[in-house]
Amino acid sequence: MKKPKVNRMVLAMFLGCFIIAIFYCQNNLKQASESAIEGTNGQKSRRSPLQTLYDGDQVESSVQAAHQGRRELLEEACRSYTRKRRVLIPEDLKHVMVDDRHGLLYCYVPKVACTNWKRVLMVLTGAAGPHRDPLDIPAHEAHVAGTLRTLSEYSTAEINRRLRSYLKFVFVREPFERLVSAYRNKFTRSYNEAFHKRYGTKIVRRHRPDPRPEALEAGDDVSFEEFVYYLVDPATQREEPFNEHWERVHSLCHPCLIHYDVVGKYETLEQDSSYVLQLAGAEQQVAFPASHKSTRTTGDMAAQFFHKIHPFYQKKLFNLYRMDFLLFNYSTPAYLKFT
């Protein structure tokens, strides 16, 4: 008669040990999980840049308000001027660079400080090797394919996860200042022979009456007027997409399909760059390089280039870049003659 009682005691002891073992394992798993999200310096994981942005208690309120205003203007412009929304495809994401360490997605736009932003991301992601100062990284190295991963390289599930949880930012510039900057850099600098051969010879052949043989061969003396004729010629985009240096920002970064949390502007580059690094908790790790260029393209300089363009072509060109003016709240330049 005592056997059942003994069996019950043994069973109770077994269950007690089992419960203790489960509790011990759970506690160890919790500790392991906490250890796994600690940084290499032993500190607990910080909030993500996205949480910091929308909690808004660690950033100056005036800066927060300015960027909220930009987001709202962009959303309103998208609603007003975009008729159909389509699904993003990997091809749309080739300009979106990924920093998994800090939870950042950056859509780079050529001629809007993208070399320095790529350098900064190389430091943040560890791709810069021993370099800690972005300016120590040669400019050409910042543009080597594969140095930084792009969002298009991930699976659909991984793309969606990053789009939901990472801070997405883009830097934009007054469209015609960016265009003149691209022309000056790619067509008036002797070292850009590849652009002269690839695009200059084509522009001379199509848009210059009776070109000299040496101009057809070299393509190194393209005028701004000829460049404009090339851009507004419908045959240009039928043949191939625009080069990224003069492609419209809305075609590179798809701001009506991707909800950008920060829209930085070239006109407030240093302030906006510091804001992004502050949100990422990286302001002590790296500083965005200050610009000391005296040759940068300004509005007055753009006006000089457009002075020789006939109003008919000014209007065609404005219509081509109109969405960038509207989406990013840039006024129609006063120097245009068709207005």
Q: Convert the pLDDT of each residue in 217-235 to its tens digit.
A: 999 999 999 999 999 999 9
DSSP 170: E
In this predicted structure, the answer to whether residue 271 has a pLDDT above a threshold of 90 is yes
Biggest CA–CA distance in the chain, Å, is 117
Across the beta sheet with 262-265, the strand order is 96-99, 104-107, 167-172, 262-265
Beta strands 104-107 and 167-172, pairing class: parallel
Average pLDDT over residues 138-161: 96
Q: Which two tokens stand for residue 173?
A: 């510039």
3-state secondary structure of 178: helix
At 8 the pLDDT is 53
**316 within 8 A of 245, measured Cβ to Cβ:** no
In this predicted structure, the answer to whether residue 24 has a pLDDT above a threshold of 60 is no
In this predicted structure, the answer to whether residue 248 has a pLDDT above a threshold of 70 is yes
Alpha-carbon span 61 to 73, nearest angstrom: 18
**267 within 8 A of 291, measured Cβ to Cβ:** no
Alpha-carbon span 91 to 161, nearest angstrom: 18
In this predicted structure, the answer to whether residue 43 has a pLDDT above a threshold of 60 is no
**338 within 8 A of 318, measured Cβ to Cβ:** yes
At 84 the pLDDT is 75
User: What is the four-CA torsion angle of 46, 51, 52, 54, rounded to 10 degrees?
Assistant: -170
At 301 the pLDDT is 96
Class of residue 15 by CB neighbours under 10 A (exposed 0-12, middle 13-18, buried 19+): exposed
Q: Which two tokens stand for residue 8?
A: 């019950």
Q: Which two tokens stand for residue 308?
A: 């020789």
At 312 the pLDDT is 97
Alpha-carbon span 249 to 245, nearest angstrom: 10
Mean per-residue pLDDT over the chain, rounded:
87
How many helices and strands (H and E) does the chain possess?
16, 4
- If one counts every other C-beta atom within 10 angstroms of the C-beta of residue 60, the result is 11
- If one counts every other C-beta atom within 10 angstroms of the C-beta of residue 216, the result is 14
Q: Which two tokens stand for residue 330?
A: 């840039």
- If one counts every other C-beta atom within 10 angstroms of the C-beta of residue 330, the result is 18
Most confident of 22-31, 59-68, 199-208: 199-208
At 59 the pLDDT is 62
Non-local (6+) Cβ contacts of 231 within 8 A are 242, 246, 317, 320
**Secondary element (H or E) of residue 176:** helix 175-187
DSSP 272: H
Alpha-carbon span 29 to 8, nearest angstrom: 31
At 269 the pLDDT is 96
Non-local (6+) Cβ contacts of 113 within 8 A are 171, 266, 269, 273, 291
Alpha-carbon span 339 to 66, nearest angstrom: 29
| Tens digits of residue pLDDT in 150-189 | 999 999 999 999 999 999 999 999 999 999 999 999 999 9
Res. 56 pLDDT band, cuts 50 70 90: low
| Tens digits of residue pLDDT in 72-123 | 999 999 999 987 778 899 999 999 999 999 999 999 999 999 999 999 999 9
Q: What's the predicted TM-score (pTM) here?
A: 0.85
| Tens digits of residue pLDDT in 204-220 | 999 999 999 999 999 99
DSSP 95: T
